[in-house]
Structure 1
Amino acid sequence: MADATAGGDDGLSRAQRVYERLKEDIRAGALRRGERVREEQVARALGVSRTPVREALARLTARGLIEATPAGLVVATISRPQTLELYAMREVLEGSAARFAAQHAAPSEIAMLDRLSSAFETAFGDAGRLAELNRRFHSAIVDAAHNRYLVRMLDELSDALALLPGTTFQLAERGPLAVSEHAAIVAAIAARDPDAAERAARLHIQRAQEARLSLLQLD
């Protein structure tokens, strides 16, 4: 874990940085499902006092990423039924984001989506890089939707996604399929076709779910 004290000295800022760092460690697998999370160890590793760590852990617990057990706080585990529920909601929300983006995206935002889609296509062979570009692509769609309430809902959903182990881009076939799926979403948004954008985004999430379930079988 990197030092979380840089960039500001107020407790709230430190708590936010600890929160983001722990969330990223969960997403990256540095903190594994079921692993004990000790307040004092986190504080020592990040070079902060226990107060911002306590605040961050409370927030992570409220968001379902950390859970209390008789043995203490541990990284939460997401079940197969929960995974299906998560992707069902993701399909609805990501589809809506693409629909709104087709209606409201600025030309510069569409250009950003096109650049991210192209960058994704050149990152084959690096599952971590593909996952990061994919997250940025989806985040750019949400930004282009210009709906603050959708942003809030997808932010919480993104937290839950951090509990899923690994990335679907570990599967060799997932990257090439995602390239065509991203291209279809961008084309529909650029054409200002909300129906096509929503269909393309929903299909993208459906196929991501299929890949996720395949990955879970290998876990």
Structure 2
Amino acid sequence: MKPVNTDAYSMILEAIDMGQYRPGDRLVESELADRFGMSRTPIREALQRLETQSLLARDGRSLIVASLDHNQMAELYVVRGELEGLAANLAARHATAEEVRVLREMVEADNKLLNDPAAMARANRRFHKQIHLASHNRYLVQQLDLVHRSMALMATTTLAADGRAEIAQQEHDAIVRAIEAGDGAAAGAALREHISVAFMTRLKLDAAQREEDG
């Protein structure tokens, strides 16, 4: 059985990841305790842990969900692309036949979610996590977990952009085909390209938002 404070941490992190709390939103200990039906002590410990990981920031005496500036976002995508590419490369060489079949089934199932950006975002996280695990490298998985926690600080999913979900699915298919073929170099290149296109989509979304705000 997991410690209670781990549960609190996971639930708050998931709420941020799902956009229930967005960058700049204030997190109040008592409100979170009521929401998740637990005492304030594990909530307090979870908030401290999230602050240590830079997922929360101080605004006076309050804790708010942190936000990423342009440079931080760019740095994150660079690291993500390289680590995810390595994971795909290793998965092509080390994944079991069952793991490869699961990846193929995920791509086929996710094609039915194209009109639901929130569901696509959840499915996308599952797909990428499956590739991480299929790399069979625990240290790489740990580093990718850290990267994906920081990705939660982006307020919107790029999969909501017009046409992005369909293109992402085509990219996922190309990644899996390379893994199925046992071609590590091709799998790594396909996943790095996938992250690059996602980054460009993110930049376009942010530019459009600045124009709207301005």
Using structure 1 for the length normalisation, give the TM-score: 0.92
C-alpha distance in structure 1 between counterparts of 2:158 and 2:203, whole Å: 9
Match of 1:168 in 2: 158
For 1:13, the equivalent position in structure 2 comes to 3
Partner of 1:92: 82
Render the CA deviation track for 1:172-215: whole Å, top value 9, x for unaligned. 21111112111111011111111101100100000010111112
Whole-angstrom distance in 2 between the partners of 1:216 and 1:116 = 29
Q: CA deviation at 1:24?
A: 1.5
Aligned residue pairs total 209
Q: Percent identity?
A: 40
Aligned mates of 1:218, 1:58 — CA distance in 2: 34
Aligned residue in 1 for 2:212: none
Match of 1:51 among 41, 51, 64: 41
1:205 to 2:195 alignment: yes
1:61 aligns with 2:77: no
RMSD in angstroms over aligned alpha carbons? 1.2
Aligned to 1:142: 132
Query: Unmatched 5+ residue regions in structure 1?
Result: 1-7
Secondary structure class of the residue paired with 1:122 = helix
Separation (CA, whole Å) in 2 of partners of 1:108 and 1:118:
15
Tell me if the contact between 1:61 and 1:67 (Cα under 8 Å) persists in the aligned partners.
yes
- Distance in 2, matches of 1:144 and 1:182, equals 15
Normalized against structure 2, the TM-score is what? 0.94
Q: CA deviation digits over 1:6-64, x for unaligned, max 9?
A: xx6xxx62211211111121122211211111112211222211110011101111111
Structure 2 unaligned residues grouped into runs of 5+: 210-214
1:5 corresponds to which residue?
Answer: none
1:218 is matched with which residue: 196, 208, 212?
Answer: 208
Contact 1:95 1:199 in 2 (8 A): yes
Distance in 1 (alpha carbons) for counterparts of 2:188 and 2:103: 15
- Tell me the equivalent position of 1:132: 122
Paired residues of 1:119 and 1:133 also in contact (CA < 8 A): no
Q: Which amino acid aligns with 1:83?
A: M
Secondary structure of the residue aligned to 1:67 is strand
Structure 1 stretches of 4+ with a deviation exceeding 4 A read none
Contact 1:63 1:159 in 2 (8 A): no
Q: Distance in 2 between matches of 1:214 and 1:27?
A: 21
